[in-house]
Amino acid sequence: MKRYNIAVAGIGYVGLSNAVLLAQNNDVTAVDISTAKVDAINARKAPVRDKEASEYLAEKELSLNAVLDGTKAYSEADYVIISTPTNYDENKNFFDTSSVETVYKLVRQCSKTACIVIKSTVPIGFTEGIRKRTGDKNIIFSPEFLREGRALYDNLYPSRIIVGTDTSDPDQLEKAKVFADLLLEGAEKKDVPVMIMNPTEAESVKLFANTYLALRVSFFNELDTYAEMKGLNSKNIIDGIGLDPRIGSHYNNPSFGYGGYCLPKDTKQLVANYADIPNELISAIVTANATRKEYITDRIMDSNPKTVGIYRLTMKLNADNFRYSAVLGILKRLESRGAEIVIYEPALKDETFSGHRVINDVEEFKKLSDVIVANRMNSDLSDVKYKVYTRDIFSRD
């Protein structure tokens, strides 16, 4: 297959995984405003925690370099992937897409012909909107379905490849097919469903998929709330439900609520997109997540603990990232109740977090805590199970 010049703007999980994947068979330049990330890529080290990406960078022959100034990379590129962050703006009730639009303008100052591929998560209708505003047809949208820490793995073994473009335009349709083929060429798994659709439908796939996952989390959390309040065994009920093949036994472990980088912002964005659309269920998913955190906080405070210990701020097992963790929502609610809080979080270097003492000695932490709050259990806590409040039934994410 032909080699292409590809520029990737933004070296987070999405940008890194795409850059590494495509650099196996193409000439790729990663662009970022972070000197640390650029230096890491050029030293063949992953700038974010990703096992497969670290291995590929260290062991594979990749045509990949990173730069702070993307002028040359954009001017020479056949494809430019935009993978900059689009955080949810609580004031505007919409994604902040300013980073995507800034990169778009920079690319077009350098090249009028490069095909721009938006991989940042955007509101439904964004790609069509920017195409109409600028008169620029050469923009496609390709959603990502990645997990933090396993982003490259999920690109090497994708569940599907989706590209959104103007399917009535033969030139744009061909560019979309070529880009899909480039992703497939770099993947280890080859039997992958590929779908080409219009960009608004592709954007919808992304937001509805993540909102369904949030719905599933919320469903099993509310089941668990019911079982705990009624003195029932949540595991028995969930196991019995999961034996129905239409439901299955996946994504069913109760927690303190859905969190992470994608689900909270994507669900809120979809609710915003439903502003003039009749709905009950979509809006209720966001509400249910807040209700679960209130319930968990009530249960923790029922025993009137003198000191509440928060065991890890992370959401998942073996994780070191706690951005948008559901545990933070519990922490804030405990603060509002006046609880004395101590935190055990090895990923933190500081001695305090949000005004609370951070204890790096797990034994001291266990001794000081009257109740230990753990979203996910760990063998560290096996000797103090009687102190632990968790809803982790299956000991997995």
Catalytic residue ranges: 262
Categorise residue 312: left if φ over 0, alpha if ψ from -120 to 50, beta otherwise: left
Torsion of CA 342, 346, 350, 353, to 10 degrees: -40
Q: What angle do CA 345, 347, 348 make, to 5 degrees?
A: 75
Q: Of 227, 234, 214, whose CA–CA distance to 284 is shortest?
A: 214
Phi and psi torsions of 386, nearest 5°: -65, -20
